[in-house]
Chains A and B, each alone.
Chain A
Amino acid sequence: MVKSSGLPNIPQEADYVEPEYEDIDKDIVIIGSDPSAVIIANEISSYRSIDSLLIYDHNPIYEDLNVKIDSGVERLDDTSYIGFFEDGHLFVNRHKRKVYRARINKLIFATGTRETYPIFENNDLPGIVSSDLFLRLLEAGCDIRNKRIVVLGHGWWGRYVASKAIERKGDVTILTSEESVEKTSGYRIVTGVKEVRGEGYPIIKGLKYSTNDTKGFVEADLVVSALHRQPVIEPLLQLKAEPAYTENLDAVTIYTNINGETSAKNIYMIGEATGTSREDLIREAELLTRFFTGRNSLSEKERDSLKNIYDRKRIVDFYSKIVTERPRFYLGGDGIDGLKFICLCEDITLNDVIKTYDMGYETLEKIKRYTALGTGSCQGRWCKYTALMLLSYFRKVPLGSLGLIRQRPPLEPVEIGLLGGEIS
C-alpha cells in the first residue's frame, strides 16, 4: 500500500496513570522565563500578605543575565500554562501528572522572546534550527566538535550563540546582513548578505548566499538562526489584550503602559516580551516590583528612569504600523516565489500567503481559512507573526488591517490522558 501522507498512526494503547487534580487560589501568579519574572517573584515573595506563585520555565538565552530564584519563592517547575478558561486558569505538570485549576487575582507575564523561524528558499530542510533550540541542545550535552555551524545574524544573541559554539569547539561562520562589523575572532564572518538559499537533500549541506557584489557557498552541518526575536504573547492574545508593535525589537507585541498594565483587566506583561532592551531588563523589573507590591513609591528620578526605559521600547500603534524595512528574519530576496516556507506544519509558502491576499482574502483569519496557515500543531505560534509582517512589507498595508489569528486554548498541545481522569 502506498502511504499517502507522513502522518503518524494513532498511538498504541499505553498504560494509563490517573492524574492528580488540584485547585489553587492565588493573589499574584508570575509566569515566564524572562529574568524579570524572577526579580518580581523574589521581591513579592518577601511580602507575607501577598500569596504569590512563580511558574518558571528556564530558557538558556537569558542565562548570562544570571538571576537566581530566592529560596522563599513559592514556585511550580516543569509546569505549563495551558490557558484561560471560563472556570479558571489551567496548568499541567507532565512529569508529576498534575493538573492545576487556578483562581488568580493578578497575572504577570514575563514570557520573554523566542527565535523567529527564518524565511528563505528551502528553509524547511532538516538541520536549520533556532538559537533557542541550539542552546538547549548544547545544554543537553550535544557534541558539536569540528562541526560546521553556520549562524545567521550578528546581533547580541548571534554573537552569544557563536561564542557558545566556539566554547564547544564548533567551526563557526556567521552570515549577517550588516555591511561591516568590528573585528572578530574565533569565527569567520560574511557581511552584507542579502539572500540565502538552503542546499542539500534530504538534510542541509550548506547555504548559497549573495551579497551586493558576490555570490558564495558556505558548507554547514547545522544552520542556527539568530536573526529576530518574537515576543511570546499567545497567552495575552488569548486573554484579549490589545496588540502593539515595538520598533525596538521590530516585532509584534502587546500594548503595555509604563506600569506593565495591558488592556486586559488585572493582566500585566513585563520584560523583553514588551519590547524592553536587554540592558534594561533587570532595572525595569526592579522598578516595577514597587508598583506590583504597592509599597515604596518611586522617587522622581526613578520614575524618569522607568520612563526612559519605556521610551526605548518604541511602542507604536499596531493598527497603523506598516512594516517598511525588510524584516530581519527574511533572507529570501526580492521575489516572493519559490519554496520559502512560512508555515511548516501545513507547508504554506510566502507565495501562497501573498497570492491568497491578492485574491481578496485580505485578513490573516481569511488567509488561514483559505490556505490552512496556522492550523497545524503549532497553531500559528511560528507563522502568524512572520506572515503578518511579510504581508505588511510586501503589500504595504498596516498590520491592523490584516489582524491576527484568534488565539484559542490550549496554548500548547495537551494530552488526553492528562486531562481525562475520573470526574468526582
Chain B
Amino acid sequence: MRCKYIIVGGGVVGLSTALHLAILTNEGPEICVLEKDFVGYGNSGRNGGRYRVHFGAEENLRFAIEAIKYLKSIDKLIDYNPLITTTGYLWLIFDEEAYKNMRKHAENFRRYGVPLKEFSAEETFKRYFFLKPRKDLIASFLGPQDGSFHPDSIVYGLRRSCERRGVRIFERTYVSNVIIKDSRVIGVETIPKGFFQGDNIILAVNEDLKYFSDKLGLGIPIEPVRKEIMVTEPFRYTIDVFVIDGQLKMYFSQTLKGEIIGSVKTGREARGLVERENTILWLRYFARALRIALRGSESIRIMRLWSGFYDMTPDSSHVIGRSRDWPEGLYVAGGFSGHGFMFGPYTGKVLAEYVVTGKMPEIAEPFTPERFKTGRLIHETFVIG
C-alpha cells in the first residue's frame, strides 16, 4: 500500500486533517487514515462534548476563539448536524485567590470580545436553582459563549466527507512503528496489514503520542492522565450551563438527551499508558461531590462510567506541527491536555495547511514542538477536570 499522506489515528483530529488535506490537494485517494480500533473509538468518543473559548494563556485564548468559530461552522463542511448549543460555562469560585485570578482573566476576556458575566453568591443560587446553596461561595462567572456539541455526529460527519473525497480509512489497523530512512519517513509498519509506504506521516494520536515520542526520540514531554467520567439516567433538561466547581474539583452539566454528565478530580488519577478502567475511588469522590453540589442528587442514579485520557504537556497546551531536527515528513497533532475535541476540527485545518504549504499559520506558531527545546512554554492554567 502506498499513499502520499498517512494519518495515524481516526479521531476528530486525524479525520479533520485528512479532510482538509483532501480539500487542499484534491488528492483524496492519496490520503490514508489508519485507526487501531474503529473511527471515534479513542478520546473522540470519550469526551464530555463541550467547548469553550475561555483559556488562561493568550496563545490558547486566540487559538480557541478561532477554533470555536470554526467548530460552529463545521456543519456546512460535513453536511451533518453536530447539535452545537451555546449553553455557557459557569465557574463557581470559593476562595479569594481564585476570585482575584478570575477577575484578572475576565479583564483579558473582555479585550478579546468574549466577556464573562459575574454573579454574587446570592444571585448564583437564585439563577441556578438546581445548585445546593453553600455558604462559602464567593461568586460565579458565566462564560455565555461556551457550550456543547455531539462528538459522534462530528466524527461520523467528518468520516463521511472524507470518504466522499476518496480518502481511504483503514480500521483495526494498528501502527506499531514509523519507518525512517536517511532522516526521512518512508512509511509505517502496521498490525495486521503490514507496511504502508508514505511520504508524509501525521501522528494524530492521543495517549499513544507518548509511545511514538519515546520510540522515535521526538522529545515531546507528554504524560497521559486517565480521567473517569459518568452519565446518569436522563431527566428533563434543567442544568443547561456547564458547572465548574472550584472547591469540589468537579464539573457537571446535562446533555441534550437529559443525562447528567460529569467528572471529578481525585488527585490520584492513574498516569501513563494504563488500561481504560474505572475505579471505586473515583466513583465515591464523584458521588460525594455531586451530592454536595446538586439539589436532589441523592436519588439520581448513575447509568454508565467510562474513562479516557488527558494527554498532558508541561504547559497544558497542545502540540501542532514538527520540530526541525525530526525526520523529514513527520508531523504531530496531540498533547491537547483535555481540550482536544473542541480544537480538533480547526487543528486539522491548520495542520493540513502547514503540511501542504510548509508555512505554519501564525495563530498556531506558539504550539509547535520547538517550544520544549527553546523553553518558550505557554502558561495555561485553565484545565478543567
The answer to whether B299 touches A11, judged by C-beta atoms less than 8 angstroms apart, is yes
Q: How distant is the Cα of A88 from the Cα of B280 in the complex, in angstroms?
A: 7
Cβ–Cβ < 8 Å partners of A159 in chain B = none
CB of A408 within 8 Å of the partner chain = yes
Q: Chain A: which residue is nearest B41 at the CB level?
A: A365
The answer to whether B280 touches A90, judged by C-beta atoms less than 8 angstroms apart, is yes
Q: Chain B: which residue is nearest A345 at the CB level?
A: B234
Q: Chain A: which residue is nearest B291 at the CB level?
A: A420
Q: Which of A16, A86, A363, A410 contacts B302 (CB 8 A)?
A: A410
Knowing A379-B304, A416-B302, say if A8 contacts B280 (CB, 8 Å): no
The answer to whether B305 touches A409, judged by C-beta atoms less than 8 angstroms apart, is yes
Q: Which of B239, B278, B297 contacts A416 (CB 8 A)?
A: B297
CB of A2 within 8 Å of the partner chain = no
The answer to whether B305 touches A11, judged by C-beta atoms less than 8 angstroms apart, is no
Q: What is the number of residues of chain A that contact chain B, defined by CB distance less than 8 Å? A: 40
Q: Chain A: which residue is nearest B238 at the CB level?
A: A10
Contact residues, B274-323 vs A (CB, 8 A): 275, 277-281, 283-285, 287-292, 294-306
Quote the shortest CB–CB distance from A379 to chain B (angstroms). 6
The answer to whether B300 touches A11, judged by C-beta atoms less than 8 angstroms apart, is yes
CB of A300 within 8 Å of the partner chain = no
The answer to whether B303 touches A377, judged by C-beta atoms less than 8 angstroms apart, is yes
The answer to whether A417 touches B298, judged by C-beta atoms less than 8 angstroms apart, is yes
CB of A279 within 8 Å of the partner chain = no
The answer to whether B45 touches A416, judged by C-beta atoms less than 8 angstroms apart, is no
Cβ–Cβ < 8 Å partners of A366 in chain B = 38
Quote the shortest CB–CB distance from B232 to chain A (angstroms). 8
Q: Chain B: which residue is nearest A101 at the CB level?
A: B280
The answer to whether A415 touches B284, judged by C-beta atoms less than 8 angstroms apart, is no
The answer to whether B305 touches A408, judged by C-beta atoms less than 8 angstroms apart, is yes
CB of A422 within 8 Å of the partner chain = yes
Q: Which of B278, B280, B298 contacts A420 (CB 8 A)?
A: B298
CB of B373 within 8 Å of the partner chain = no
The answer to whether A13 touches B295, judged by C-beta atoms less than 8 angstroms apart, is yes
CB of A5 within 8 Å of the partner chain = yes
Quote the shortest CB–CB distance from B83 to chain A (angstroms). 12
The answer to whether A85 touches B283, judged by C-beta atoms less than 8 angstroms apart, is yes
Knowing A12-B296, A409-B278, A416-B297, say if A5 contacts B38 (CB, 8 Å): no
CB of B144 within 8 Å of the partner chain = no
Cβ–Cβ < 8 Å partners of A11 in chain B = 296, 298-300
Cβ–Cβ < 8 Å partners of B122 in chain A = none
Q: How distant is the Cα of A419 from the Cα of B278 in the complex, in angstroms?
A: 14
Quote the shortest CB–CB distance from A3 to chain B (angstroms). 8
The answer to whether B299 touches A414, judged by C-beta atoms less than 8 angstroms apart, is no
Q: What is the number of residues of chain B that contact chain A, defined by CB distance less than 8 Å? A: 46
Q: Chain B: which residue is nearest A8 at the CB level?
A: B235
CB of B221 within 8 Å of the partner chain = no
The answer to whether B288 touches A422, judged by C-beta atoms less than 8 angstroms apart, is yes
CB of A376 within 8 Å of the partner chain = yes
The answer to whether B236 touches A7, judged by C-beta atoms less than 8 angstroms apart, is yes
The answer to whether B290 touches A369, judged by C-beta atoms less than 8 angstroms apart, is no
Cβ–Cβ < 8 Å partners of A63 in chain B = none
Cβ–Cβ < 8 Å partners of B257 in chain A = 372, 375
The answer to whether B301 touches A413, judged by C-beta atoms less than 8 angstroms apart, is yes
Cβ–Cβ < 8 Å partners of B295 in chain A = 10, 12-13
The answer to whether B277 touches A420, judged by C-beta atoms less than 8 angstroms apart, is no
CB of B156 within 8 Å of the partner chain = yes
Q: Which of A10, A372, A414 contacts B296 (CB 8 A)?
A: A10
Q: How many A-B residue pairs have CB under 8 A?
A: 131
Quote the shortest CB–CB distance from B344 to chain A (angstroms). 17
Q: How distant is the Cα of A408 from the Cα of B368 in the complex, in angstroms?
A: 37
Q: How distant is the Cα of A86 from the Cα of B305 in the complex, in angstroms?
A: 13
CB of A299 within 8 Å of the partner chain = no
Among A10, A413, A421, A423, find the residue whose CB has the most chain B CB atoms closer than 10 A: A10
CB of A182 within 8 Å of the partner chain = no
Cβ–Cβ < 8 Å partners of A9 in chain B = 235-236, 238
CB of B233 within 8 Å of the partner chain = yes
CB of B380 within 8 Å of the partner chain = no
Q: How distant is the Cα of A418 from the Cα of B298 in the complex, in angstroms?
A: 7
The answer to whether B235 touches A7, judged by C-beta atoms less than 8 angstroms apart, is yes
CB of A140 within 8 Å of the partner chain = no
The answer to whether A377 touches B233, judged by C-beta atoms less than 8 angstroms apart, is yes
Quote the shortest CB–CB distance from B291 to chain A (angstroms). 4
Q: Chain B: which residue is nearest A86 at the CB level?
A: B277
The answer to whether B234 touches A376, judged by C-beta atoms less than 8 angstroms apart, is yes
CB of B272 within 8 Å of the partner chain = no
The answer to whether A421 touches B301, judged by C-beta atoms less than 8 angstroms apart, is no
Q: Chain B: which residue is nearest A378 at the CB level?
A: B303
The answer to whether B238 touches A419, judged by C-beta atoms less than 8 angstroms apart, is no
Cβ–Cβ < 8 Å partners of A12 in chain B = 295-296
CB of A370 within 8 Å of the partner chain = yes
Q: Chain A: which residue is nearest B259 at the CB level?
A: A375
Among B234, B238, B258, find the residue whose CB has the most chain A CB atoms closer than 10 A: B234
Q: Which of A88, A90, A377, A416 contacts B298 (CB 8 A)?
A: A416
The answer to whether A14 touches B298, judged by C-beta atoms less than 8 angstroms apart, is yes
CB of B40 within 8 Å of the partner chain = yes
The answer to whether B236 touches A14, judged by C-beta atoms less than 8 angstroms apart, is no
CB of A87 within 8 Å of the partner chain = yes
Q: How distant is the Cα of A8 from the Cα of B299 in the complex, in angstroms?
A: 13
Q: How distant is the Cα of A376 from the Cα of B300 in the complex, in angstroms?
A: 14
Q: How distant is the Cα of A403 from the Cα of B121 in the complex, in angstroms?
A: 50
Quote the shortest CB–CB distance from A419 to chain B (angstroms). 4
CB of B152 within 8 Å of the partner chain = yes
The answer to whether B301 touches A14, judged by C-beta atoms less than 8 angstroms apart, is no
Q: How distant is the Cα of A377 from the Cα of B290 in the complex, in angstroms?
A: 19
Among A370, A376, A415, A421, find the residue whose CB has the most chain B CB atoms closer than 10 A: A415
CB of B382 within 8 Å of the partner chain = no
CB of B112 within 8 Å of the partner chain = no
Cβ–Cβ < 8 Å partners of A88 in chain B = 280
Interchain residue pairs with CB less than 8 A apart (17): A7-B234, A7-B236, A8-B236, A9-B236, A10-B295, A10-B300, A14-B296, A85-B278, A85-B279, A101-B280, A369-B152, A377-B234, A416-B302, A417-B291, A419-B284, A420-B288, A423-B285
Given A86-B275, A86-B277, 18 additional A-B pairs, CB 8 A: A10-B294, A11-B299, A13-B295, A14-B296, A85-B277, A86-B270, A377-B233, A379-B304, A408-B304, A408-B305, A409-B278, A410-B302, A413-B233, A416-B290, A416-B299, A416-B300, A419-B283, A420-B290
Chain A residues packing against B (C-beta within 8 Å): 5, 7-14, 16, 85-88, 90, 101, 363, 365-366, 369-370, 372, 375-377, 379, 408-410, 413-423
Chain B residues packing against A (C-beta within 8 Å): 38, 40, 45, 130, 132, 152, 156, 232-239, 257-258, 270, 275, 277-281, 283-285, 287-292, 294-306
Report, nearest first, the 4 A-B pairs whose CB atoms are least far apart. Answer: A417-B298, A420-B287, A413-B301, A420-B291
